[in-house]
Amino acid sequence: MFEGIAPALAALANAQVIGFVILGSIIGLVAGILPGLGNIQAMAVALPFTFGMDRLTAIYFLSSICASATYGGAIPAILVNIPGTPANAATTIEGYPMAKRGEGTRALSISATASALGGLIGIASLVVSIPIVKPLVLFFGPPETFMLVLLGMVTIAYAVQQNMIRGLATAGVGVLLSLVGFSPVTGVFRFPLGSSQYLWDGIQDVAFLTGIFGLSEAIRSGMDARKGVPAAEIIHAGFHGALQGVKDVFEYPWTLVRSSVTGIIVGIAPGIGGSVSNVVAYAMTAQMSKDPMFGKGSIEGLIAAESSNNATYGGDAVPTLAFGIPGSAAMAVLMAGLTLHGIPVGPWLMKEHMEIVWVVVFGLVAGTLFSCLVGFLVARWLARITTLPMGLVMPVIVMLILAGSFAVRQNYWDVLVTIGSGIFGFFLVSHGYSLLPVTIGFLLAGAAELAFIQALYISEGSPLIFLKSPVSLILLLSSIAVALYPVLKSRLLEKERRHEKAA
């Protein structure tokens, strides 16, 4: 297990490799900041440039890009309510209200610290799981994946507890939107809406999420003729604010660990990644938190969202390195990088090329730490964006949103989807609906459907398949517990109140 550490560390001691790790982290960070771009695009563009590098340098370079984009995506999520990547959707819910009330520096610092720690926990899980990695990967078949996604979906129970009917209705809309396009199993074209080609693969995550979060906020700012946060109202600014953010994270160790573990588990399950872990960990924390600020700029919520999405990379890397099954699209590109440099990805990678596994591990660690350090150091200057008049900032933001939406596939229809989602999001928020249920429904329903149908194909239609494996059973019981928790909590509170009255 530890036999490849020495060559991997020796390579990292090389100045050229350090240079490429720094360059990769900056590329990933910038790609994450720009809406519509992320580590997948950045790595795909960088791939050809690695031809001239030796294999260890190339893998360090690509791993650092891979790890740094998610933190980059938190920056626009916090400062202007636009998730830089789909994995930062829930970050906007708590980060942006903090920035609006003058705590941008603190929020950026919380995000950087939670991302770094979450990323490290995720990577540690990868290291720890190396001896048992193959059975771990084989644990997650379609029934287990379905139960895991179900666990994520029942977190809607939290999101709807304020207003059950409204919440379920918007979650249902999210589910319906996720069903547009070809069925992943049967190939049936659903809800073509008159489109002969565009909706083949459904509504694109980036186009939808940047619209519903970012553009809807831009419309709201325009309608309110909102001004920037007055400089006098900026609190926790400067280096002091950044340090406060670091301290905040250490005040919620349980939230950090629980959300990171959620991110790791989601990462190990094939086909679902940071965008799912981000909303699931956030919603689970929301269910358990006693913070009255939840939904209005909660530190705990921000920690949950940002630690989980970064921890997912460690989980994603488990099936990728152990079995050659890419845990996410970003890992598929990293795999391509390994393959291009003659590193055979597959079950024998861990048997024959442990030094490569360690290079990926150290590359992810270096990318995470460097990007978060940069984020921490520049937080106080970045936060000043919130003091600018929104009339000045929003046109630039709108341009960035639309350009980002277009950049993913160079498709003008994606821009229209973003505009439509923006108007839809504006409508939802202005009528008191939460964006969380629609996001959870949209992000999870497709994965749930695929795993559910596949499981039934395997069992020839018998639903008992969902109860056969211990992993699946544990996840099912957890789902029931999570779903019942709000009901039990309110009953207990009622009982307490009655007791108090009686007393």
Partner 1 sequence: MVYSVRIILAVLAGFLTLLGVYQHAIAQPAKTPALPSTINLVIPYIPGTGADIQTRVVARFLPKYLPGSPVFVVKNDAGAGGRAGVQTVYRSKPDGAAVGGAYTPDALANEALYGIDGAGFDFSKFVPLMSTYHQPYTVSVGPKAPYKSLDDMKRPAKPVPFCTTTGMDMSYIVIATKAIGIPMRLIPGFKGAPTAMAGLLRGDCEAVSLGIEFTNRYLKDGVRPIAVYGVERPSIWPNVPTSKEQGHPLELEISLAFFLPPGASAELANVYRDGLAKLYRDNEFLEAIRTAGFTPTYADAKRTQQIVSGLSGLFSKYAPDLRDAAAKTQ
Binding residues vs partner 1 (CB under 8 A): 40, 43-44, 47-48, 51, 137-138, 141-142, 182-188, 196-197, 200-201, 270-271, 319, 323-326, 329, 331-336, 339-342, 344, 346-348, 409, 450, 453-454, 457-458, 460
Q: Which is nearer to partner 1, 44 or 176 (CB)?
A: 44
Q: Which is nearer to partner 1, 188 or 193 (CB)?
A: 188
In the complex, minimum distance from the CB of residue 187 to partner 1, in angstroms, rounded to a whole number? 6
Q: Which is nearer to partner 1, 88 or 204 (CB)?
A: 204
Report phi then psi at 190, rounded to 5: -105, 145
For residues 187 and 190, give the distance between their C-alpha atoms in angstroms, rounded to a whole number. 9
Quote the crossing angle between the two packed helices 238-250 and 354-382, to the nearest 10°: 130
In the complex, minimum distance from the CB of residue 465 to partner 1, in angstroms, rounded to a whole number? 10
In the complex, minimum distance from the CB of residue 63 to partner 1, in angstroms, rounded to a whole number? 14
In the complex, minimum distance from the CB of residue 322 to partner 1, in angstroms, rounded to a whole number? 10
In the complex, minimum distance from the CB of residue 203 to partner 1, in angstroms, rounded to a whole number? 12
For residues 85 and 71, give the distance between their C-alpha atoms in angstroms, rounded to a whole number. 9
Q: Which is nearer to partner 1, 188 or 503 (CB)?
A: 188
Distance, first Cα to last Cα, the chain: 62
Q: Which is nearer to partner 1, 201 or 233 (CB)?
A: 201
Look at the block and give the residue holding tokens 């921000």. 302
Got the DSSP string for 95-146? HHHHHHTT-HHHHHHHHHHHHHHHHHHHHHHHHHHGGGHHHHHHH--HHHHH
Distance of CA 196 to the CA centre of its chain: 31
In the complex, minimum distance from the CB of residue 58 to partner 1, in angstroms, rounded to a whole number? 12
Q: Which is nearer to partner 1, 55 or 236 (CB)?
A: 55
Structure tokens at 202: 């459904």
Q: Which is nearer to partner 1, 176 or 471 (CB)?
A: 471
SS (H, E, C) 213-274: HHHHHHHHHHHHCCCCCCHHHCCCCHHHHHHHHHHHHHCCHHHHHHHHHHHHHHHHCCCCCH
In the complex, minimum distance from the CB of residue 213 to partner 1, in angstroms, rounded to a whole number? 24
